Chain A
Amino acid sequence: MSVLEDLRLRGPVLTASGCGGTGRELAPYVDLATLGGFVTRSITLAHRTGAAGRRIVETPSGLLNAVGLQNPGLEPFLARELPWLHQQGARVIVSIAGASPGEYADLAQRLAVAPGVSGIEVNLSAPDQRGSGVYDVREPFHAGSVVSAVRRETPSRVPVLAKLRSDVVRAVEVSRTVAEAGADAVVLGNALPAAMPDGRPARLSGPAVGPLALRCVAQVCQQLPALPVIGCGGIATPADVRAFLDAGAVAVQVGTAQLHDPMTLSRLITARQEDA
């Protein structure tokens, strides 16, 4: 458990960002205090209303989403959501997204001193559509810059996780870069770039992306054995959890499966306890 303790996780099963609501909606189905960690949806400095129109489309073995980072913004999150989550005994990991490294840094600075924040997860999976377009967080150099900016604003007692997408070509390279920039762990992966049937940019998640994420986890764990890796992508069953942990991950995040069956997290936590 030492790596989990370093990362301030209570166990190996966490929510995936964007699939746990504010926590209040999840609470009827799982005791938030039993989660390894509750990862919030990505929080931005200012409130965002998200994308208009159809946001989620079913495909064989996957969900396409174009939610567009809907969130209340930092201040309302700190005022209303974080204290409630903390009160429930949840280990809260706040996912952050920004349109510039400066925005990421500002978010980290405020969150690092907020009571009840157990960690910060830097969302590096998708370029922010509000950004100027001069940098792309998927590029190793830029991802490293963002993590450096966040690390500088975050005391060492608060772990910084870098969430990367399952890019089998560059997973090791990006992981190494963000680790050198100060990330305490990487989260691999995230929904993959895709398109809605009408051509709008979207991201694909669910069982369809699981094997890709597992490949990335295995590669990074083999080549960067000192770096804690949290697996994410298509995890729905105790066997999926075992596969990611066997590949070297220290923990997993569960997203799309929770949307299909809200008891998934609860079931996986029970299964891990029985395994232990």
Chain B
Amino acid sequence: MSTPSTAPTGPVHVTGTVLTTRAVGAYTHLTLVAPGIAERMRPGTFVAVSVEGQLLARRAFWIHRVRHAGGHGMTLEIVVEQVGAGSRWLAAQPVGAKLAVTGPLGRPFALPKRDADPVSCVLVGDGHGAAPMFLLGERLRERGAVVTMLVAGADEAHLLSALEARRSARSVTVVTEDGSVGSRGRVADHIGEVLRRAAADVVYAAGRPSVLRDVAEAAETHGAWSQVAPELPLTCATGLCQGCPLPVVGEDGVARTVRSCYEGPVVRGDRIRWTELAP
């Protein structure tokens, strides 16, 4: 019998402090002291950071890891890929910098019931979309699930923490497009074989929509459930502006547009109308 959670829920908006910053391959990892957020997070949820200056949209990042850090209490780590002015600004923030942070935001990955039979789970992380997968792997293992990971990236620099994946999962497949590490190819080239070997019941994935579409289709073919978190541009990230449309089909069969930041980012792979989602 499960006991009701007493953990606080709902997002909070706080002033965070950069505790550490380090370059890892093509990414910058920031550890933030952001009171209340780490305690509330569940794998698949994210934080949004307001950028100073003239940039009005906010920047959303997966919560990669949470940990207890001495006198700072719970901290959280985010992974920043420098793709524009906002992410460049954030990656350049020094230790001690103050940031306006909101989180945890979004709908997390659904976990199997605690008293369920062991479930075979395949976790797919594409690029820095692999960020939430390690905590998810740990939570799944706590529930007795058998965890297999597929970590993918364009090249070694865009491959997130493959070493760490080996700690979170029973078996790990590493795929790079240029073949610099692991097997050469794209997720689509390897996902079918990974699902077959793992005898997967559930597939969890985060990353670019084009990659997730392949994962969802492979899961369907294999007969597994899929939960996917497509990375889409988010403006407010809090559900206010309707700027992140995610075309889905409801359980009643009716086509709808939901907000990726609020009704998502995690949705069932077989519910997304992929043809209407830009890659």
Contact = CB atoms under 8 A, between A and B. Distances in A.
Nearest to B241: A259
Interface stretch (A14-22, A94-102, A118-126): A14-22
A19 B56 contact: no
B10 A28 contact: yes
Interface residues of B, number: 30
Given A50-B257, A70-B245, A261-B50, A63 B235 contact: yes
A62 interface: yes
A206 B55 CA distance: 10
Interface string A252-263: 000011111111
Interface residues of A, number: 36
Nearest to B84: A58
Nearest to A72: B256
Nearest to A41: B242
A61 B10 CA distance: 30
Contact of B54 (A24, A56, A61, A67): A61
Contacts of A152: none
Contacts, number: 95
Contact of A262 (B102, B245, B255): B102
A52 interface: yes
A55 interface: yes
Interface in A220-252: none
Nearest to B236: A259
Given A256-B56, A260-B50, A260-B58, A56 B255 contact: no
Main secondary structure on chain B at its contact with chain A? Answer: loop
A258 B57 CA distance: 10
Interface string A48-86: 011111111010111101010010000000000000000
B257 A259 contact: no
Main secondary structure on chain A at its contact with chain B? Answer: loop
A37 to B, nearest CB: 16
Interface of A: 18-21, 24-26, 28-29, 41, 49-56, 58, 60-63, 65, 67, 70, 206-207, 256-263
Interface of B: 10-13, 50, 54-58, 100, 102, 233, 235-236, 238-245, 247, 255-257, 262, 276, 278
17 contacts: A19-B241, A25-B240, A28-B11, A28-B13, A52-B247, A56-B235, A58-B56, A63-B56, A65-B241, A67-B241, A67-B242, A70-B245, A257-B56, A258-B236, A259-B56, A259-B236, A261-B100
Given A25-B240, A52-B276, A259-B56, 18 more contacts: A21-B242, A25-B238, A25-B239, A25-B262, A26-B238, A28-B10, A52-B247, A53-B278, A56-B57, A56-B233, A56-B235, A58-B55, A61-B56, A65-B241, A70-B245, A258-B236, A259-B241, A260-B236
